[in-house]
Amino acid sequence: MNPQTVLVIDDERDIRELLTITLGRMDLQVDAVGTVGEARRALGERSYDLCFTDMRLPDGNGQEVIELIAANHPDMPVAMITAYGNVDAAVNALKAGAFDFVSKPVDIQMLRGLVRTALRLVEEKRNGGGAAKTNDSSDRLIGDSAAMQQVRATIGKLARNQAPVYIAGESGVGKELVARLIHEQGPRASGPFVPVNCGAIPSELMESEFFGHRKGSFTGASVDKEGLFQAAQGGTLFLDEVAELPLHMQVKLLRAIQEKAVRPIGGRDEIPVDVRILSATHKNLGQLVEQGQFRQDLFYRINVIELRVPPLRERRGDVPLLSAFILKALAGKSGDGVGQLSPAARDALDAYDFPGNVRELENILERAMAMCDGAIIDASDLMLPQRGVRADAVTPARHEDAAAGTAPASASANGGLDDYISNLERTAIVKALEESRYNKTAAARKLGITFRALRYKLKKLGID
Ligand SMILES: Nc1ncnc2c1ncn2[C@@H]1O[C@H](COP(=O)(O)OP(=O)(O)OP(=O)(O)O)[C@@H](O)[C@H]1O
C-alpha cells in the first residue's frame, strides 16, 4: 500500500522539520515547502491526503492556501498552524473551511490526534463509508420540509470539519439529535459523544466535572477522577444549555478550548485533549453577551459556525411524518399496534403551534396512545391546550364572531372539539384564499401548510 502523504507549508524551518519528523514517524510521507508559490506547485504536481499550512507566509497567507485547496481538492483536509492564542486566525481559518488548527508551540500528542482524525476522514470518503453512514444516521432526523433538508445538508458539511458549532433553537426542536448526527457522520464517530447539561452541574463541582481532579486535591477527593474533557478524548463534547455556565467557568472553558489542554484540580501538568466542541442553548446567546452574562470571547470561540434548528411551527409540513415516526417508535416500545391519527386528529395537530416542539409532539402522542380506544387516535385524545392553537387560525374566527355579534365559538357549544377546530380552519383557509386572490399555492404558503395539505382540507371541509 502506498504511504499516505502530507504537504506542510511553513516558512519556519524548525516547524517544517518538527512536522516532517513527527509525521514521518507515523509512516506518512511528507513534502515540506516554505511559500504559497511552492505550495501551488506541489499541489499541481501530486495529490496529498492532508495539508498543514502556516497563517503568515512570505508571499501570501494560509487563507489563500485553504481557498485554493477547497476549490481544487475539496476532499483534502487542511489544518492551519496558528500563533499561540491567536483566536481570530483560528476562527477565520475554520470559517474558510480549514479542518482544524494547531497552535505553536506544536504539541506532538495533539498533532498525532489531529492527523489520525483527518486521515480517518479521508479513508472514510475513499471507501464511500462516510456517505453510507450519512444516510443511515440522517434517517433518524425526520422531516422533508425545505428547512429540514437544509439542516440535514448542513449537518453533512459540518461533520467533515472540526470547527466548533453552536446549535441554536427553541427547547425540544432536536438540537441534541443534530449534535449527535454531526458527531456520527464525521471522522470522530468511533470516539465517544459526551453530552453535558451545563445547567445541571452544581457550580462548585463544575471544574472537577469538566477537568477532573487528583486524589486528595480537596475534601472528598478520595480517588483520581477523570473529567468530561478526558472522557470525550478523540470524540465530541456536547455542551447543552451552555448559557447556564457561570462566568468563572466560562473563563476556564475558553482556556481549555483554546489550548486544547486541561489541568485537573490538584494536577501539576496540563493534559492535551483532542475533543470537538459542539454547544447549544434555547436562549439567545448573542443577547446574553450584550447583557454581560456570557463572555464575548467564549461566544466567539464556540460560535464559529451557527446552525439554527427551526421550531416545528415553521415546518409544520413535517408534523405528519414525525407523528408517524413517533407512533411507530411508541408501538415498538409497548408491543401494541401502531397508532393511527383520525383525520380530525391530523387537522387538530395541523392547527397547533407546538411551543414545546418535537418533544411536545412526542408527549402528546404518547399520552394520546394511552387515552385512545384501540389504535385510532381522535382529536379529543390529543388533549391539546388551546394556548397553542395558531394565532392566525383563531383570530379570523374571532373577527367573524364579533362581526356576526355572536359569542366566540366554544368547543362545547358547537358540538365538540372537532367541529370547533374545523370551523377555525375553514375561516382561516377562506381568509387566506381571499387574501391571495384564490391562488391556492400562495394561500397554502400563507397558512404555512403544503399545497397538498390545503387541497386535502378544501375537499374535507367542502370549500369550493
Ligand atoms: N427531526 C426529528 N426527527 C426525529 N426525532 C426528533 C427530531 N427532532 C427532535 N426529535 C426528538 O425530539 C426529542 C427532543 O429532541 P432534543 O432533545 O434533541 O431537543 P433539544 O432541542 O436538544 O431540546 P432541549 O433544548 O430541551 O435540550 C428527542 O426525543 C428527539 O429524538
Residue to mutate, 141, 151, 166, 176, ligand 1, most ligand atoms under 8 Å from C-beta: 176
Examine the pLDDT at 92 and tell me if it is beyond 90.
Answer: no
Closest CA to 428 of 360, 336, 351: 351
Q: Whole-angstrom Cα distance, residue 243 to residue 267?
A: 28
Q: Whole-angstrom Cα distance, residue 352 to residue 349?
A: 5
Atom 7 of ligand 1: nearest residue by CA position:
174
The Cα-based distances of 98 to 66, 91, 163, 260 in angstroms read 6, 9, 8, 17
Closest CA to 455 of 343, 397, 463, 340: 463
Ligand 1 centroid–CA 437 distance in Å is 38
Query: Do 266 and 221 form a contact (C-beta atoms < 8 A)?
Result: yes
Task: Find the range with the poorest average confidence among 84-93, 277-286, 325-334.
Answer: 84-93
**Measured in Å, how far apart are the chain's first and last C-alpha atoms?**
70
pLDDT on residue 84: 65
Q: What is the DSSP letter of 336?
A: S
Sequence-distant (≥ 6) Cβ neighbours of residue 389 within 8 angstroms: 351, 352, 353, 421, 424
Ligand 1 centroid–CA 141 distance in Å is 9
pLDDT on residue 32: 96
- State the ipTM, two decimals: 0.98
Q: Whole-angstrom Cα distance, residue 231 to residue 76?
A: 29
Query: Do 296 and 256 form a contact (C-beta atoms < 8 A)?
Result: no
Q: What angle do CA 75, 79, 83 make, to 5 degrees?
A: 165
Indicate whether residue 152 lines ligand 1 (CB < 6 A).
no
Query: Do 322 and 364 form a contact (C-beta atoms < 8 A)?
Result: no
Q: Between these two residues, 448 and 397, which has the higher pLDDT value?
A: 448
Identify the band that residue 420 occupies on the pLDDT scale cut at 50, 70 and 90.
low
Classify 293 as helix, strand or coil: coil
Q: Where are the domains of the chain?
A: 5-126, 129-308, 314-461
Tens of pLDDT, residues 202-236: 888 899 999 999 888 777 778 888 899 999 999 99
Examine the pLDDT at 131 and tell me if it is beyond 70.
Answer: no
Atom 16 of ligand 1: nearest residue by CA position:
174
Question: DSSP assignment of 299-327, as one string?
Answer: HHHHTSEEEEPPPGGGGGGGHHHHHHHHH
Closest CA to 285 of 258, 265, 264, 308: 308
Indicate whether residue 169 lines ligand 1 (CB < 6 A).
yes
Tens of pLDDT, residues 4-43: 899 999 999 999 999 999 999 999 999 999 999 999 999 9
Task: Find the range with the poorest average confidence among 116-120, 142-146, 252-256, 434-438.
Answer: 434-438
Query: Do 242 and 279 form a contact (C-beta atoms < 8 A)?
Result: yes
Integer Rg of the chain from CA: 27
Indicate whether residue 10 lines ligand 1 (CB < 6 A).
no
Q: What is the mean pLDDT of residues 70-90?
A: 80
Q: How far is CA 180 from the centre of its chain?
A: 8
Q: What angle do CA 423, 428, 433 make, to 5 degrees?
A: 125
- Atom of ligand 1 minimally distant from the CA of 240: 27
Ligand 1 centroid–CA 450 distance in Å is 23
Indicate whether residue 366 lines ligand 1 (CB < 6 A).
no
* Tally of CB atoms within 10 A around 347: 22
Q: How big, in percent rounded to 5, are the helix, strand and coil portions of the chain?
A: 55, 15, 30
Atom 23 of ligand 1: nearest residue by CA position:
172
Examine the pLDDT at 415 and tell me if it is beyond 70.
Answer: no
Domain 129-308 has CATH 3.40.50.300: yes
The average confidence (pLDDT) of the chain is 84
Could you tell me which CATH class the domain 314-461 is placed in? mainly alpha
Tens of pLDDT, residues 273-303: 999 999 999 999 999 999 999 999 999 889 8
Query: Do 392 and 353 form a contact (C-beta atoms < 8 A)?
Result: no
Q: Whole-angstrom Cα distance, residue 262 to residue 49?
A: 30
Strand segments (E) across 200-339: 212-213, 225-226, 236-240, 261-262, 271-272, 276-281, 305-308
Q: Which CATH architecture has domain 5-126?
A: 3-Layer(aba) Sandwich (3.40)
Backbone angles phi, psi at 155, to 5 degrees: -55, -45
Torsion of CA 291, 293, 296, 298, to 10 degrees: -160
Dihedral-angle region of residue 445 (phi above 0 means left; psi in -120 to 50 means alpha; beta otherwise): alpha
